[in-house]
């Protein structure tokens, strides 16, 4: 039976307050880094020197090279890009240029893992999708300067609202849709996404972060948003998972593993805006980590853990019923909602 793996039951008194600190004493792995290159769809990648004083939002280090991304193929509300490689070193950034589109959708076709150890910028409020079936790693110098929701996935295709599919592997005669993205499609067990030593801090109240991959590992890292949802969704078999989780009844499959170790996931400390944390997988492992998401009233959902352990359906449970290894779950704002954790089992 698949279970939520932990070692000791967590019992939190309603008045207890947690002060979360960012884990700084961590040495990130050394990554080999490739450039950002175009592989079609009219995508143009230029290399420019940023203005003096342009620094990484997280590390403060100078950025010496920017990959200026323009062109692409516009279909009303969607702007499509195709990259051969998409990786960034600590002194690099990639900037998606201005667009009227609501969604910027980029695929990586070269077959190499994306190593993001620099800064991703967007000059528009559009949502940004980055699709690489070969996998992704966000290193210690990774940062996001994106106003919309950032979606990173190792899915094989993105299913659109008109049931068409945008594949990571270019298709003969492919038709690009103007419909909104609806689901991440996986054709087989897929690569993982790892966030290692990163401190990803949101820059906009509209910014959310969604990671969808075969397995997801967050280690010695933090993801902090002033607004928007944090969604970590593991899918390690053929199937589809919805782009936007339904806050009341998500029926998307969950077959991979989400592992969060010595890390922090933090939503807004007060609302509005309200940010939720979604963890979805066949197995969800939490150890030595803090998960903090505020609520504006007692009925507001704060954390949702979705697994395939079929022991109930859409139940409210007290925090005493959740077994987690050393991980405090609650809200730093309204103590009356402490323990109002909704777990959905299928």
pLDDT bin (cut points 50, 70, 90) of residue 203 is confident
Distance CA 206, CA 13 (A): 33
SS3 per-residue string spanning 285-303: EEECCEEECCCCCCCCCCE
Asked if 277 and 329 count as a contact pair (C-beta separation under 8 A), the reply is no
In this prediction the pTM is 0.79
For residue 150, what are its two tokens?
């950032």
**pLDDT exceeds cutoff 90 at 129:** yes
Could you tell me whether strands 65-71 and 43-48 are parallel, antiparallel, or unpaired per DSSP bridges? antiparallel
CA angle, residues 320, 295, 345, in degrees to nearest 5: 45
Report how far residue 244's alpha carbon sits from residue 114's, in angstroms, rounded to the nearest whole number.
24
The whole-number average pLDDT for the span 98-121 is: 95
Query: 53-73, pLDDT tens digit by residue?
Result: 888 888 888 999 999 999 999
Count of Cβ atoms closer than 10 Å to residue 162 Cβ: 11
How does pLDDT run across 81-102, given as a tens digit for each residue?
A: 999 999 999 999 999 999 999 9
> Sorting pLDDT into bands at 50, 70 and 90, what band is 297?
very low
Query: What is the structure's pLDDT at 300?
Result: 43
CA angle 45, 51, 53 (to 5 degrees): 130
């Amino acid at each position: 039976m698949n279970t939520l793996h932990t070692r000791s039951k967590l019992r939190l008194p309603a008045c207890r307050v947690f002060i979360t600190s960012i884990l700084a004493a961590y040495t990130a792995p050394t990554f080999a880094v490739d450039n950002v290159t175009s592989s079609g769809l009219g995508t143009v990648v230029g290399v420019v020197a940023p203005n003096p004083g342009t620094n990484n939002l997280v590390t403060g280090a100078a950025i010496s090279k920017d990959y200026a991304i323009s062109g692409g193929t516009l279909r009303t509300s969607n702007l499509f890009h195709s990259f051969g490689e998409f990786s960034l070193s600590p002194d690099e950034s990639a900037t998606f240029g201005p667009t009227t589109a609501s969604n910027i959708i980029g695929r990586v076709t070269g077959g190499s893992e994306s190593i993001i150890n620099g800064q991703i910028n967007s000059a528009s409020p559009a949502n940004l999708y980055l699709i690489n079936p070969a996998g992704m790693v966000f290193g210690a110098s990774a940062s996001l300067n994106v106003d919309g929701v950032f979606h990173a996935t190792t899915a094989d295709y993105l299913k659109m609202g008109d049931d068409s599919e945008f594949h990571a592997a270019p298709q003969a005669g492919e038709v690009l849709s103007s419909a909104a993205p609806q689901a991440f499609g996986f054709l087989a067990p897929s690569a993982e996404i790892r966030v290692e030593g990163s401190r990803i801090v949101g820059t906009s109240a509209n910014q959310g972060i969604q990671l969808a991959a075969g397995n997801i590992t967050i280690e010695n890292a933090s993801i902090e948003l002033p607004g928007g949802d944090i969604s970590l969704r593991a899918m390690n078999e053929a199937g589809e998972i919805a782009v936007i989780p339904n806050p009341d009844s998500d029926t998307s499959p969950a077959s991979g593993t989400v592992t969060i170790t010595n890390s922090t996931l933090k939503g807004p400390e007060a609302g509005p805006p309200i940010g939720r944390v979604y963890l979805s997988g066949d197995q969800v492992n939490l150890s030595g980590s803090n998960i903090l998401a505020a609520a504006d009233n007692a009925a507001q959902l704060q954390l949702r853990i979705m697994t395939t352990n079929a022991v109930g359906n859409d139940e409210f449970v007290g925090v005493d019923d959740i077994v987690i290894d050393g991980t405090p779950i609650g809200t730093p704002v309204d103590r009356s909602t402490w323990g109002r954790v909704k777990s959905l089992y299928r």
